[in-house]
Amino acid sequence: MRPKKKQRILSVDTQWGIENRSTLSLKQFATQFSLLDKQRALNIYRSIIDQYLMGDRTRLKADLDTWERSSDYVIFWMERKRTQKQLNSRSTIATYTENILQQETDRLITDDIQPQQLVSSVGPSTRPEIDTIHAPQDCTSAQENDLTSGESSTSIPTASIFSDIRHIPPWQFAGMDIASAFNNYKLAVNGKTADNLLPIETHIHEILALSNILLLCPNQHSNLVLEYIPEEVLLSFHNSLLGECLYMNISWTDDEYIKVTRIVEEPNQILEL
């Protein structure tokens, strides 16, 4: 007796297409399954029509051809591509900040080990030289007493990512010292990290600040940085830096503008310029 063939299990998108065959369209399909790549969405959609919807194939392909010639088709895929670029950019930033955070964590661990080894080898009459940031007098005295008495110190070594911020040249803009304000902001971020971890998804500004990077995103500034730099100053600062980097007065012919637009929208397409 011949064994029965296993029934083929349809994929989720195929099953959905079959169930919605009467109102099916590429736009609905791409939206339902969050498809951002136009060519991939077209390939999957046409494959489902050809293999599982033979009775509706003529009508569905005619509807697709009609939609492909409409302005709604162009606008829809432009929005999907913009969304894809935004997601890719955020992913790149998240990866970058994660790598920076790991590097800084490794530095903190190294800085934590080396001073402790140095303290343990100090005798009663010897004082080690440790790179520190200026602290209140009572804290400094307590550390000196621990070291000279030969007892182990529980204070956190300060030779860290903040050892390079003691002599920062001023950067005057809009009547305030941006460098000094950013320095104070970075110290506040450091205080927050003493007791809590900073999730990358919600604290990209703070994590980048620990690496001496001031992220300027109009209308997306963190609440903490606004305590040190007003929002209007950040916006003006952003526009000023952008004006220095970009030349805005570019005159293009219509033909040049169309070609540049096609390159941006279809980067993999080879154009004869």
Query: How many whole angstroms from its chain centre is CA 23?
Result: 38
* CA dist., res. 147 & res. 27, Å (int): 71
Per-residue CA distances from 151 to 31, 115, 139, 141, 210 (Å): 66, 14, 16, 14, 32
Contact 236, 221 (CB under 8 A): no
DSSP 208-233: HHTTT-----TT---HHHHTTS-HHH
* CA dist., res. 207 & res. 186, Å (int): 9
Please give the average pLDDT of every successive group of 10 residues along the chain, which has 273 residues.
65 92 93 92 93 92 94 92 83 77 72 48 40 37 39 40 57 87 89 79 84 85 89 88 74 78 64 44
What are the extents of the domains in the chain? Answer: 12-69
Structure tokens, 271: 């154009």
Query: For residue 196, what pLDDT is reported?
Result: 77
Q: Taking each helix axis from N to C terminus, what angle separates 38-52 and 71-120, rounded to the nearest 10 degrees?
A: 120
Contact 20, 60 (CB under 8 A): no
Contact 108, 160 (CB under 8 A): yes
Note the pLDDT tens digit of each residue in 220-256.
888 888 999 998 998 888 888 887 777 667 777 778 7
Scanning the structure block, which residue is given the tokens 């963190």? 222
